[in-house]
A and B are shown apart, each in its own frame.
Chain A
Amino acid sequence: MENKRIEEITNELKNDIIKCNDKNTLENIRIKYLGKKGLITGLLKQLGELSPEQRKEFGKAVNILKEEALKIIENKKEELFKREKEELYKKESIDVTLGGYSLFSGNLHPLTKVCKNIIEIFLGLGFSVETGPELELDKYNFKDLNFPDNHPARDMHDTFYINNSILMRTHTSPVQIRAMKKSKPPLKFIVPGKVFRCDSDLSHSPVFHQVEGFWVDEKVTFADLKGILTIFLRKLFEKNLNLRFRPSFFPFTEPSAEVDIECVLCNGNGCNVCKKTGWLEILGCGMIHTNVLKAVNYDTEKYQGFAFGLGIERITMLKHSINNIRLFYENDIRFLKQF
């Protein structure tokens, strides 16, 4: 009879557990079976009324029942706990594909980025950075750079004047004069900066940026100039470019050359950007003119050097396929955020 009772309780417990869906019910179930007045506790209390043999046998069965009940309840508890956590996670789950916070952000101007890039390359080649004023003396911008007064070479630069002797520098080259006046060779500098010319169209802006470079020492040669520029341009465009040096004329260098690179857009095969020539004019350079060295009282028998100048806009336009120089100065965010 008692065994039957155990079986009944076992079945009832299993039924209760199956139906149980929350912690409170489970606690009630625990109390119903294992509480002070619980069914299993009740069975244990009955043991005293039995004969020793029955007690031994029945006692063992009840204890097994009790342990099993504990285990069933504990399992259920764990199951409920797990389910509860899962529900919580489900509730708290998010759409990770929605956008993040939108604060506001910025970026360096593409010209600044390219300028930094150029500076880095030259720092690595042992050149230091020098700067100079944007309002400049006619003397430093022209005369000391071997542009005599009333010489047609001055027509090469459309100049903004502040007064008769002060102008907005038309190139970064006056910094050569300033640097050479300040110190003695060896000098190895690059000069990034803003320059101004009264000229405005698709490829000319009245304000633009140049990087000047110069190296004055005892044995600097034209072949060295070709070497530095070859290393620089190949690094800048990350390409093993071919270069072409064409004789040209700048008042402050002699011999002077214009440097073309193999067109980076068509690999020298000829396209609209290089006007089917396969070459892109990229910078001007030459050996510093003896008149310039004389203007700063250098011994021209002892010292010689080279100088070059390049337009940052031109390089940036080539690097990023930009077709209109005005985009740099309009500052439309849709343009700025692309770099």
Chain B
Amino acid sequence: MKALISWLKDFVDIELSVDELADKLTNAGLEVEGINYLGKKFNNIIVGKIEKLNKHPESDNLFVCLVDIGNNIKKSIICSATNLFEGALVPVILSGSALPDGKEIKTITYKNVISEGMLCSKEELGLAEFSTGIFILPTNLKIGDTLEKALKIDDAVFEISITPNRPDCLSIIGIAREIAAITGQKLKKKKIKLNEIDEPAEKYIQIEIKNFEKCPRYIGKLIKNIKIKESPFWMQYRIEACGMRAINNIVDITNYVLLEFGQPLHSFDYDLIDEKKIIVRTAKENEEIITLDNNKRILRSEDLVIADANKSVAIAGIMGGSETEVSAKTKNILLESAYFQPATIRKTSKYLNLSSEASYRFERGTDIINLKFVADYAAQLIAELGEGQLCKGEVDIYKSLPAPQKIELNTKKVKNFLGVNIPEENVIKNLELLEFQVEKRDEKIIATVPSHRVDIENDIDLIEEIARIYGFDKINWQRPVCDLTYGWLNDYDKLFFSIKDYLAKYFYEVITYSFISPIEYKLISRKNDLLNFYYDGEILEIKNPLSIETSLLRPSFLFNLLNTVKLNINMKNNNLAFFETGKIFGQISRKSKYANEFINKDIIEFTSEENLPYENDFIGCIISEPLFTENWIKTTIENNFFLLKMIIEELLKNHHFKGIKFMPQNFEYFQPGQSAAILLNEQLVGVIGKIHPDIIKYYDISDKTFFAELNFTHLFKLYKIESNKYNEISRYPSVRRDIAIIIKEEIIFQKIKEIIDKLNLPLLENYYVIDVYKGSPIPEGYKNIAIAFIYRSKEKTLTEEDINETHQKIFNELVKQLEAKTR
């Protein structure tokens, strides 16, 4: 809302400086977001008089003006505006000065004519947002004066952000009322003297409301024999300073009153109203109306219209129809002042995607009581400035008007709620400053709410008003006195943070948008499955995305992590190792086929009681090239599957997860044969693998890209929260013995593990693969695998003999079960 200081002064005395006032308003909840000092910009603009006006000798569209700028100085200025005439007073800016927007004016010669300055439009001066032609000044100004001095513009406009609960402040009077309250004044009321003719309005117009719920009150007034012309300068100045465009006296008056009192009005060309009847009704389904902006609007049966006997003439509270629009030919005016139910206006405005100054105010709530005063005020202005006759009275239709609301407030509650002791007399005074009527009854006060405060409903609303006027700053902060409470992080979040901390040692944590692009999704999901290793179902779509590229909700971190890799490759960065944690989404109907294969317990629920789509916390990690910075020490670690596997495995071990297993399993986004399911106690919790070459090709990144994803929600269900028990360590050294066997190539290490673990050997502490070899002299289709076995006893230092039996047992079992050969 824009508020012009000089306009505010009609209602309230302002002794504070503009800046001080802005501070006070901001601290009272009317945040001043900007101040436009109108006058300061005009000290280099002077009043000039056009002495001579000629066509440019060599250019048809231009004029050459000889402008008197006082002190017998005349300047030649070229101008293209067509509204100039000899003798007109105009704002002139001379070469060497700059316009309010900073544009500098220079002397130029165009086709042999010199131009030593510029004539200005309102728009160029920042006095209006749009204007055509040069600003023709009132004739009583002194030539040569600066515009600031001549127009007495020591004025400023506040740009105030009005919160949705305060429609009463979408007006000059509303803001003035706040200023009065915070500076302890009484608002100056506007007095109007109606100059009516004897003919009553009801002689000319009939009004009927068909839907009192949507339109509880409608007032029509009639002004006869008006003249359409320009409105006076003072009115144009005020409405244009407040961001509206001056059009003609009638339109300007309705806008002026809208700005001044916050009540939207509408003027109809009375002679175009069929049968002189106004009917407020809901539209017929698919009823059409051409609105003032010349657009055809198709309405629904719930939309409210203003109609005459045959047609709708306005969409109630939003925009008038073009058929009954006031035009240069208009003689008689029907003025509407009405109250519409806010939700109705909002629904229609949203549906039509059409919003106006009127609808903005109606949907926030207007003052139903004040309708008549505003109608009178506007009608009188129309009669005066349009030189017309105001018919007596009005047609005012309503069933009943709401009684003033009374709210009880226990004054003790003010202290209990705010934590500050505001004396009762101040409580009462603050409310009275805001035009509440206050009665005292024992420990309580009863406040009658003024009709413009549609936001006040209960005692807390009153406390807010009291605190606002008292000043939030005067409420001192205190250290709360309360029972001791222990702040905790639950086990879920604790584990989540701990995992993040662990991963952050190796990977950069990234945070990406939770959206993905359908193009990328379809690239990978050929069969339109969800692309989540854990769930099956449909991908979720946003109904109103910012763009098509961000219209799907991620079912996996894969896409965004690939894009992160790509961005960093494009930037020629290295150390491409990233992880992300957070929610993945989907319309989940079932577990995936993979999950079905592995999960043997239904520990994850698939629907919430509120039927919200599924969301789970996941963890995604990716590594790609370049991973290492090239170094003078030739490093021996290589970027491959096993590097990522190491980190994931260590992560799980570090958090004491048991039964960790990686099993070969193909997933659509991994290269077949380099892809695994991550299991904990035979339950699927994650996947790991090398990104499929087809995907690599699309993203144009290194083929050495490996990705792993874990379902954290599932992981947590398997997490042991209790502290681990200490496992006593042996005081004796270990002994190592190796075994090398030749087995079929397709036998996986997991198989060997299973054989060994099944033996359940107490002396065997650990074992690990030290070599895998294929090729000569090993026969085709076979591989040599060498395993180190570590033996240890808790009772003694083991000798060769002590372990012979165990070691031989392992060897025999492997040879037997794997049909292994030895070298």
Contact = CB atoms under 8 A, between A and B. Distances in A.
Nearest to B418: A222
User: Which 10 pairs show the lowest CB-CB distances between chains A and B?
Assistant: A223-B419, A221-B419, A247-B29, A249-B163, A226-B477, A126-B485, A255-B464, A123-B487, A331-B510, A150-B343
Interface of B: 26-29, 31, 163-166, 342-343, 346-347, 363-364, 416-420, 458, 460-461, 463-464, 467-468, 472-473, 475-480, 482-490, 493, 497, 500-501, 503-515, 540-546, 550, 553, 564, 567-568, 571, 573, 575-579, 582-583, 585, 608, 610, 612-613, 615, 623, 627-633, 635, 637
Contacts of B347: 150
Nearest to B461: A254
For B163, B463, B507, B582, the residue with the greatest tally of chain A CB atoms inside 10 Å of its CB is B163
B160 to A, nearest CB: 13
Given A105-B575, A160-B542, A226-B477, A137 B635 contact: no
Contact of A108 (B28, B476, B501, B546): B501
B486 to A, nearest CB: 7
A41 interface: no
A247 B504 contact: no
A216 B146 CA distance: 61
B506 A104 contact: yes
Interface string A213-230: 000010111111011111
A126 B487 contact: yes
Nearest to B161: A248
Interface in A134-149: 134-137, 149
A24 to B, nearest CB: 37
A104 B627 contact: yes
Interface string A160-197: 11110010100000000000000000101000001010
30 contacts: A103-B628, A104-B575, A104-B628, A105-B505, A106-B504, A106-B578, A107-B508, A108-B500, A109-B510, A119-B489, A123-B488, A135-B553, A135-B615, A150-B343, A153-B165, A156-B164, A162-B543, A168-B542, A196-B514, A200-B546, A207-B514, A217-B482, A220-B482, A222-B419, A223-B478, A244-B473, A246-B29, A287-B460, A331-B510, A331-B578
Contacts of A222: 417-420, 467, 475
A48 interface: no
Contacts of B630: 102
Interface of B is mostly: loop
A330 interface: yes
A331 B364 contact: no
Interface in A228-262: 228-231, 243-249, 251, 254-258
A96 interface: no
Interface residues of A, number: 89
Interface of A is mostly: mixed
Given A246-B27, A328-B511, 13 more contacts: A98-B632, A101-B635, A105-B506, A107-B508, A128-B490, A198-B544, A198-B545, A223-B475, A226-B477, A246-B31, A249-B164, A304-B416, A330-B567
Contacts of B468: 247, 255
Interface of A: 98-99, 101-109, 111-112, 116, 119, 122-129, 131, 133-137, 149-153, 155-156, 160-163, 166, 168, 186, 188, 194, 196, 198, 200, 206-207, 217, 219-224, 226-231, 243-249, 251, 254-258, 287, 289-290, 304, 328-334, 336-337
A289 B467 contact: no
B553 to A, nearest CB: 8
A161 B550 CA distance: 13
A134 B512 CA distance: 15
A200 B550 CA distance: 12
A149 B343 contact: yes
A152 B346 CA distance: 8
A226 B478 contact: yes
